[in-house]
Chain A
Amino acid sequence: MTDSAGPTAQRLLGSGADTGNSRRPVGLLLVAVPVVLMAWLIIWPIISAVLRTVWRADDTGAHRFDLSTYAFFFSDQYSLNNLGITLWTTGMCAALLLMICLPIAIYLRFATGRLAGYVQALAIFPMFVPSIILAFAFIRVLGPNGMVDILLNAVGLPKIDTPYLTPWGPVIGLVWDNIPLTVLILLAGLGAVPNAAIDAARDVGAQKWQVFWYIILPRIGNSILVAISFSVLGIFSAFTLPYVLGPASPEMMGPFMQRTFRDLYDPLNALTQAVITFGFCIVFGLFYVRSVARNQGK
């Protein structure tokens, strides 16, 4: 999907230049709306947040460069634990998502027939479930004395060690929640793998894993990167699932920021936490931008 965007845009711009400059302002005008909105609602708040945390008024009212809130964050074990659990949850979710979604996507790409349709419907289903509903369903099913416990108990097995209110709670919820987006992106990438290439490989006697390793994987590397950076961006700043399913402490950055801002009446430290979170997210964002840019360069 990313492949087509570049050439199309170039073609449009090119044709505008060919038929005269009269259409150029219209094109710019059309682009101006999203660009202005983005600058106003996204870029400016980012710049303002960074500035407000580093360029602050001291006791005398004079503004000066001040990194003390960042120093506090990185010297405060409690804050570092929260950052740590956020990175752990994100990494764990990314690994699990890849392990679960790649087989589903490959199956959906090559399978035909009714069953594939059902599998696809199941894989896309979480997209239509609001996360708060998911959270309470999770408590009823995997929570203490939930459905799983009742079923196990019925056949005389011991109860499960429930993940509710432990760090695994948000991991399970977030993975389920992110399956549709990941599957969709991987599937789009797999669409670029030509059947002819696979048939050719099979004809020369390639095993299934060889087809996967040498034919499929090199062609979808980019999609994997995009899928992972998309879900990682969402998971890193997730709020509802970590808040309802996770432990009180350590907490993920989403609930931590919200709590600092609203319950501790401390917007400055909340902003600092947000800037630090943004710093981590931008790294994942750069992966995505780089892979798109590389594709357009081709």
Chain B
Amino acid sequence: MDRRRFLTTTAGFAAGMVIVPRMASAAEGVIDWYTGSDSNVFDFWANTVKPAFEAANPGITINLVDAGDNAGISAIGERAIAAKQTGTDPQADFFEASDPRLPVGAIEAGIYVNFAQAGLENYSKVNPLAIDSDYSLPYRGSQVLLAFDTSKLAQADAPTTFDALVAWIKANPGQFIYNRPDKGGSGGNFVRRTIHQANGLDPSAFTVDNFTEDFANEALGKAWDILADLAPSLYDGGAYSSGNTQSIQLLSQGVVTMVPVWSDQVLQAIEQGVLPAETGLVQLSDLALSGGFSRALVLDNGANRDAALKLADFILSEEIQSAILTELGGFPGVSWDHVSPDLRERFAAIVPVTIPTFPGGAWEAAINDGWYRNVAPNVDRSQ
């Protein structure tokens, strides 16, 4: 009967394991920091930025919180707007990467600090090409490129234009996969590159403000045609992985030959041995895959606004900007003159010439919904 008694106790214990919600209020000197980025970025902050900043600023600590994804950050932004209206504490001080235009009306509501006026010591070092708004601080960049298995495809034969890529995918059915566009930027930016392709290779054709439903239907519809046409040649006749990591996993297991990847993530995967050192990387030369700078935001109504600004200044320092190159595999947010000379030389090859970008906001929702409705189900798969 001992076995059955064990059974009752374990069942009761398992049922009793209820997660108690954390009722926190912002503490003095603790910066509430949120990110929607992948775990490599979170690890970079936990292992590199946080210890360095806390050592340099005794009495200030950073509370690192993973908000999940961009929408998670937006939700916290909405909370900050509500807190601003009621004059309460938003319990958030720093967004690792977001767009100050989100949630809609956030700048007008005055929840973000204007960096142009904040008097940060290092603000003048920021790469002018990377500045998108006075309310956001570009501090790291990364770009999507194509990673491939050189044992199946020689570097010399790798496609370098979108048309060559499409031809290669069709000639090698089942050897390419990209992730669902809302579940990770590598697949998301492959989809956006297709939208650029379908609309005359002109990234400036799309801005946050020029979204209209008619324009979106027309512009995106052409891209859905290209992607739906590609679907039967993808892995498993049109399967889509559920995130950046899963795509890399399929490449590392030798299931597919080529996947779109984030530059920082693939460099880290190679560094850690997840992918072999011979993994090939190629960027399209007719128009690069989208990417962009990640821009930090500081909440104006946060309880630790001044400490958060110190942190914002700190991440532009040479120490952290160099670490972004060496530890994270990203591009620095400051101009290359402000990176140490030996690093400048070592990473000369990956210095991006251009980084096309795609606006977020209403476009993001339209792309996410349109892709799921028009591309994802449009497959005839036998199971």
Are A and B bound to each other? Answer: yes
Find chain A residues with CB under 8 A from B364 CB.
Answer: 263
A151 to chain B minimum Cβ distance, whole angstroms, is 15
A262 touches B69 (CB 8 A): yes
Q: How far is the CB of A125 from chain B (nearest CB, A)?
A: 11
A143 in the interface (beta carbon within 8 A): yes
Q: How far is the CA of A81 from the CA of B373 in the complex (A)?
A: 11
The smallest beta-carbon distance between B253 and chain A, in angstroms, is 4
Asked if B255 is at the interface of the complex by the 8 Å CB criterion, the answer is: yes
> Considering the chains assembled together, what is the distance between the CA atoms of A184 and B7 in angstroms?
8
Residues of A within 8 A of B255 (CB): 143-145
Q: Indicate whether A264 sits within 8 Å of B369 (C-beta atoms), given known contacts A165-B239, A249-B377.
A: yes
A244 touching B246 by the CB < 8 A rule?
yes
Report Cα–Cα, A243/B253, bound state, in Å.
20
A187 near B7 (CB under 8 angstroms)?
Answer: yes
Knowing A144-B250, A166-B381 are in contact, say whether A264-B365 is a contact too (CB < 8 A).
yes
Question: For the complex, is A265 an interface residue (Cβ under 8 Å from B)?
Answer: yes
| Residues from chain B with Cβ under 8 Å of A120 in the complex | 3, 7
- Does B215 count as interface, using CB distance less than 8 angstroms? no
Docked-complex contact A165 and B383, CB < 8 angstroms: no
Q: How far is the CB of B136 from chain A (nearest CB, A)?
A: 20
B56 in contact (CB, < 8 A): no
List, in ascending order, chain B residues with CB within 8 A of A101's CB. none
* Total count of chain A residues near the partner, CB < 8 A: 34
In contact, B368 and A259 (Cβ under 8 angstroms): yes
Contact B383 A167 (CB under 8 A): yes
Q: Are A78 and B377 in contact (CB under 8 A)?
A: yes
Asked if B71 contacts A124 (CB within 8 A), the reply is: no
Bound form: Cα–Cα A120–B11 in Å: 13
A259 to B373, CA, bound (A): 13
Q: In chain B, residues 339-383, which have Cβ atoms closer than 8 Å to a Cβ of chain A? A: 364-365, 368-369, 372-373, 376-377, 381, 383
Name the CB-closest residue of B to A165. B239
B280: CB under 8 A from chain A?
Answer: no
A243 to B, closest residue via Cβ: B242
0/1 string, A150-162, CB within 8 A of B gives 1:
0000000000001
Write the nearest CB–CB distance from A230 to chain B, whole angstroms.
Answer: 12
Q: Which of A68-86 contact B (CB under 8 A)?
A: 78, 81
Q: Is A247 an interface residue (CB 8 A)?
A: yes
Q: How near does chain A come to B22, taking the closest CB pair, in angstroms?
A: 16
- Chain A, 222-244, CB within 8 A of any chain B CB: 243-244
Chain A nearest CB, measured from B170 CB (Å): 20
Q: Chain A residues with Cβ under 8 A from B74's Cβ? A: 265
Scoring A residues 257 to 286 as 1 if CB is less than 8 Å from chain B, else 0, what string do you get? 001011111100000000000000000000
B14:A127 contact, CB within 8 angstroms: yes
Distance in angstroms between the alpha carbons of A262 and B14 in the assembled complex: 31
B254, CB-defined interface residue at 8 Å = yes
With A145-B253, A165-B239: A265-B71 Cβ-Cβ less than 8 Å: yes
A117 within 8 A of B: yes
Contact B376 A248 (CB under 8 A): yes
B372 near A78 (CB under 8 angstroms)? yes
Q: Are A263 and B10 in contact (CB under 8 A)?
A: no
* A248-B372 contact in complex given A144-B250, A166-B381, C-beta closer than 8 Å: yes
Chain B residues with Cβ below 8 Å from A261 are 71
Asked whether A146 is an interface residue with its Cβ less than 8 Å from the other chain, the reply is: yes
B253 touches A249 (CB 8 A): no
Q: In the complex, A261→B254 CA distance in Å?
A: 35
Q: Quick check: A165 and B236 within 8 Å, CB to CB?
A: yes
B240 CB–A CB distance under 8 Å: yes
CB distance from A56 to the nearest CB of B (A): 20
Q: Interface readout for B248-274 with A: 1 if CB under 8 Å, 0 if not? A: 011001110000000000000000000
Known: A248-B239, A264-B368. A81 touches B377 (CB 8 A): yes
**Can you list 26 A-B pairs, Cβ within 8 angstroms, ordered by A?**
A78-B377, A81-B377, A120-B3, A120-B7, A143-B255, A144-B236, A144-B250, A144-B255, A145-B255, A162-B236, A165-B236, A165-B241, A166-B239, A166-B383, A191-B4, A244-B242, A247-B376, A247-B381, A248-B372, A249-B377, A250-B377, A259-B372, A262-B72, A263-B71, A264-B368, A264-B369
13 other contacts beyond A78-B373, A187-B7, with CB at 8 A cut-off? A78-B372, A127-B10, A144-B253, A145-B253, A165-B241, A168-B383, A184-B7, A191-B4, A248-B240, A248-B242, A264-B369, A265-B74, A266-B365
Residues in B lying within 8 Å of A, measured CB to CB: 3-4, 7, 10-11, 14, 69, 71-72, 74-75, 180, 182, 235-236, 239-242, 246, 249-250, 253-255, 364-365, 368-369, 372-373, 376-377, 381, 383
Which 6 A-B pairs have CB atoms at the shortest separation, nearest pair first?
A249-B376, A262-B71, A165-B239, A263-B182, A144-B255, A248-B376
